[in-house]
Structure 1
Amino acid sequence: MDQGLRDLDLQIGSLTLRQIKAVTNNFDPANKIGEGGFGPVYKGLLKDGTIIAVKQLSSKSKHGNREFVNGIGMISSLRHPHLVKLYGCCIEGNQLLLVYEYMENNCLARALFGEGPEKCQLKLDWLTRRKIRIGIARGLAYLHEESRLKIVHRDIKATNVLLDKNLNPKISDFGLAKLDEEENSHISTRIAGTIGYMALEYAMRGYLTDKADIYSFGIVALEIVSGTRPSF
């Protein structure tokens, strides 16, 4: 993993484990704000008053070191209003941590369905739901067509869309993302993602294009419009 990090042209900072323990009060359970594919996520407060979110790779995580490095490499080079901003990372001993911007309204799944420890479902009017759908679409358009790296996210779902204090959506969790090589019509790869959100040609044959993200976005759009989770 160290070699993988050296090979990356990271545009983020590096924090020590001691610093992260200080800002999260030693990973106090009271500061836990969620549980992602990597592991738990904690709220932290920097000395300058900036609130951050710290994602800690669990030893029981279904994602491994390769996915962790992949996530760092992908998101460190991306800048868009509808993508979560990565501030830094920490690799120390057996600790693997990502530090990124804090999103006041947690994830879209909690807003729509009250998922998570706090069961905090939000009342979203139609204009807000429309704003969220358009924001996700703009984030995907950037990944697929506008960024220097053409990226297929592979895990677009309500829990991977975070909401800021104004309910603007930001796509997160790039651990499963794949580069879309322009000279190829598709990528044949091992299947990874979330059942129910995966396009059939990808789920059944590993046939991956950016259309896989569009399919996933369609499922999320249905969730936003209906306010209910589809039966998979």
Structure 2
Amino acid sequence: MGFILKSNQYKIISLFSGCGGLDLGFIKEGFEVIWANDFFKEAVETYQKNIGSHIVYGDITKIPSGDIPNECDVLLGGFPCQGFSVANTKRSMEDERNFLYKELLRLLKDKQPKFFVAENVKGLLSIQKGQVIEMIVQDFKSLGYCVDYKLLKASDYGVPQHRERVIIIGNRLGLKNPFPKKTHGLCNDLFNEKLKPYVCVKDVVGHLANIRTRDASFMLDGVMIHNHVARTNVYDTFWGRKHPINQHEICDYLKFWAFLQHL
């Protein structure tokens, strides 16, 4: 959104903020989050420790619009996705969580921000054969916003994972909604020679010490930190893995698959 918003002090209201990942991205680009909210107590406490005290703990459906600041230029909302997720085999519009996006509609109507950005899981596009995403877009458009959505993949922007998310952008200024251009890809992509190579997990964590069973726990600032991997030797899912692998070996394994993919 950088080429549209010239000021670096646009004020943001954030709903369903969680630990603040979406907010943090905007803060790093110079935006100011003046009010945030989430219903998960531990997430709110994490947000307060890492980002700021402007987050309010509570059920957004029970917070009147009058208790939320009016000076809002951008509304953010990663509305709950459990009902839309492809992991939920019983997903349907009967799941009340699927209607929490209407809290975004309420604040768009009451606060009239210039822009909004909403985020959700890939499954939103396929539920009821695409009818749900179209319903949501039409609801946003009914409030006078120009609305577009796109499925973006985290690995295309330098993040070492293939997480895909639906990003919905709207504005009421009649402007074209921007989406970021892909910055990373395969090294042998002949059609996108300017792309940087995908970032592998080892590129990010390869410098860390190997996990050892005797590292099961340690003291940090007076708090006992437990390492669940070292204590249980559990398996996990990593990008590039083709079969179950001991987590002690994951970095070298990822390097091998990254090498093959770059041939």
Normalised TM-score (structure 2) = 0.29
Between 1 and 2, higher relative CO (CA 8 Å, sep ≥ 6) is seen in 1
Larger radius of gyration: 2
TM-score norm. by structure 1 comes to 0.32
